[in-house]
Amino acid sequence: MENVLNFDKLESLKSLQSTISKLENALSQMTQNGANTTLVKKRLKAVSIGLAMLENVWNQSPHYYTQEDLAEARNIITGLFPSIENSYAKSKAGSPQRTLLERRIKAMELAVQAIDDLSTK
C-alpha cells in the first residue's frame, strides 16, 4: 500500500467518492419509487468503508468500523468486480467510460487491500 503513487491515491479517492455519490442518488430515487433499497444500502456502506480504509492508510484518518463491518464490506466490494469488469469489457478503448471503470476497479482493489491489511493487524 505504501508504494502507490500520489496520483493513483488521489484518483482512487475521487473514484470511490464518485461511486458513493452515484449510490446515494440511486438510493434516493429508489426510495422515492418505493423500490427495495437493501442492496443499494449495503453497497453504499461497503464502498464508504472502503473509502474510509484508504483514508485511514494514506492519511491516517481514524475509522470506527468493527472487524465484522470490514469483512462484510470486503465481501460486498469483491462481489461488485464481475459486473464492473463485464461493463469494462463492453466499453470502447479510450472512451471516458473505460477510464472511469479502470479507476473504479483500481480503487476497489486498493480498498480491498487496505481492508485486508487492517484486518491482519
- Look at the pTM and tell me if it is higher than 0.85: yes
91 secondary structure, DSSP code: S
3-state secondary structure (DSSP) of residue 64: coil
pLDDT(121) > 90: no
CA–CA separation, 4 vs 14, rounded Å? 15
Q: Which domains does the chain have, with CATH numbers?
A: 6-119 (1.20.120)
| Cα dihedral across residues 71, 118, 44, 98: positive or negative | negative
For residue range 22-35, list pLDDT tens digits in order: 999 999 999 999 99
Average pLDDT over residues 97-107: 96
Packing angle, helices 67-90 and 96-119, rounded to 10: 160
